Amino acid sequence: MEGDCSQKKKKAELIDSMFSWSLDDIFNEDLYKDKVEKIPESFQSEQHYLGSFVFPLLEETRAELSSSMEVICRAPFAKVVSVKESKPFGKLLYNIQIDSWKNRFYNRGKEPYRTLPGDVFVISDVKPENISDLQQSGRTWTLGLVPKVAENRNSLNVGDSTATFLIVKASKDVELIDRLQKLLYVVFLMNITTNNRVWDSLHLFKNVNVIKEVLCTNSMVEEICNQCSLYSNAICAERLALKLSPVLNESQRAAVLTSLCKMHCNHKSSVELIWGPPGTGKTKTVSMLLWTVLGMNYRILTCTPTNVAITELASRVVKLVKEAFENESKRGELFCSLGDLLLFGNKDRLKIGSDLEEIYLDYRIDRLSECFGQLTGWKHCFTSMINFLEGCVSQYHIFLENTLCKKKESKKKNQRCEEVKSFGEFLREQFKSIALPLRRCVQIFCTHVPKSVIMEHNFQNIVFLVELLDSFESLSYQNDAFSAELEELFSHPEAVQDSPYSFVRTFTLQYMRTQLLCVLKTLRSSLDHLKLPSSNNKHSIRKFCFQRASLIFCTASSSYKLHSVKMEPLNLLVIDE
């Protein structure tokens, strides 16, 4: 996903163009009349293609800003309390303190306004009821942008709906305005996050292979690779047709199979268009394609134009994965592995529900932070269980000594004494308390870490571990009558066959303990070599999630963020329009 940009000079920003506009420019519908042209049917180069969208994007941004200003009387606004230059962040960046937001419920039926990165304000010496208030002689105003959410100080947490401190990039010197005027207002106009990402993508000439293939300046388009025989494509289709037949109709199945056959070609890249009128099952077809490709060692980016569309598509794929798991669980599968699937974006806009939270990036980072933690993680849980199984008898004796001491103290104070537990009771209760976080940890591990990272032999050992934990706990309830014998038996580390005792149940429990210790130690050693990220660094866990996922979901706008992630190139781009 990384590449070198040949341009050394500072890249032009969308906000710089916006800051250059006067009020007349903002309301001038002909501002880009001579520059916005009809998008051509063919392009001379990738630069020609990308450049064709720059002025239409500027015009779209200007029109939206103009519309916002026309209804400025209904916009959220606040009084400015103080303005200070934010020196660490650069020129014309300010820390602005406001009193409180008014008109937060200006959009009926929608969520109340809250400040977000990409918000554009007008900062003026009057609360404008209409645009003419800004045009009056002597009035002073400037546009401002919230460049990012400050995460390290509560006072600058602009993502909070009640935030009263903002970091704002301004088009003019706000401190000068503040010194000249007694009162300033901040009025929300629009959010340009999506526009910004499109702008940056149009000016970032990286990874344009897909664009080259789509543009295909060569008029002789080769639909079928000559090096891939029709026979090999037929074999591929035959293998997958049975899997797809019960779910898709003939045309849907043909679209999936054609795409899969082209994906198997290593000689040339290709583009496949799946087209159909509304209601013909395009999203269903794409979801089946993605589900079929899972496990084929491809890395896929799936995009849609909107948050609603991407959550719908991701939800369908997750449902297919879980349905397949339910069939597998009948044959002994314990964990539904979702680590290969990753969804990222704004949580509020995506409206993440319980059906998608397990593949949502922020949720996964929180779960893996717990799973990799020093005091809560898998290594701590494994070690705690190993220490208990190896030293449960000595731990019981310490427990007895403490209980007897408490009993003596209680007698002196004429208080009720706690009953002394048998070894069997102690074993059962302590085992349950240690096994509970261990089970949770391996559940998180197998759900959120891709199976390819865990490796099949480790995954099967984890399944075996959970089965042993269940069996040991169940057997511990059946050995109360043999508590003394069990204590004696657990005092010796020798194998079961060397024990002089003949009680089958205690033998079985001892055998289970031996098996548990063997599997726990084997797994602890093996998992320790996987080079998993540290829980102390959420950035490294985030990077791990992106690098290890094989199917990534996001909106087309959010996909721009992947340029900042160092990871292996993606093999396939799927766009569901």
pLDDT digits (tens, 9 = 90+) for 462-484: 999 999 999 998 888 875 556 77
* CB neighbour class for 229 (10 Å; exposed up to 12, middle 13-18, buried from 19): exposed
| Mean pLDDT confidence for 429-454 | 94
Give the distance, in angstroms, between the CA of residue 141 and the centroid of all CA atoms in the same chain: 39
How far is residue 227's CA from residue 265's CA, in Å, rounded to a whole number? Answer: 9
From the CB of residue 61, how many other CB atoms can be counted at a distance below 10 Å? Answer: 22
Which residues partner with 191 through β-bridges? 119
How far is residue 552's CA from residue 542's CA, in Å, rounded to a whole number? Answer: 13
How close are the terminal C-alpha atoms of the chain, in Å? 23
Predicted local distance difference test score (pLDDT) of residue 197: 86
Give the distance, in angstroms, between the CA of residue 190 and the centroid of all CA atoms in the same chain: 26
Predicted local distance difference test score (pLDDT) of residue 497: 45
Asked if residue 383 has pLDDT above 90, the reply is yes
Q: How many residues does the chain have?
A: 577
Least confident of 98-112, 234-248, 431-445: 234-248
Which residues partner with 304 through β-bridges? 555
How far is residue 25's CA from residue 21's CA, in Å, rounded to a whole number? Answer: 5
Least confident of 154-168, 323-337, 386-400: 154-168
Predicted local distance difference test score (pLDDT) of residue 10: 55
Asked if residue 419 has pLDDT above 80, the reply is no
Predicted local distance difference test score (pLDDT) of residue 14: 92
From the CB of residue 158, how many other CB atoms can be counted at a distance below 10 Å? Answer: 22
**Closest Cα partner for 292 from 577, 572, 575?**
572
- Whole-number average pLDDT of the chain: 81
Asked if residue 552 has pLDDT above 90, the reply is yes
Predicted local distance difference test score (pLDDT) of residue 112: 79
**Is there a contact between 257 and 240 (Cβ–Cβ < 8 Å)?**
yes
pLDDT digits (tens, 9 = 90+) for 101-131: 888 666 655 677 888 889 999 998 889 999 8
Asked if residue 547 has pLDDT above 80, the reply is yes
Asked if residue 378 has pLDDT above 50, the reply is yes
From the CB of residue 328, how many other CB atoms can be counted at a distance below 10 Å? Answer: 13
Share of the chain above pLDDT 90, in %: 36
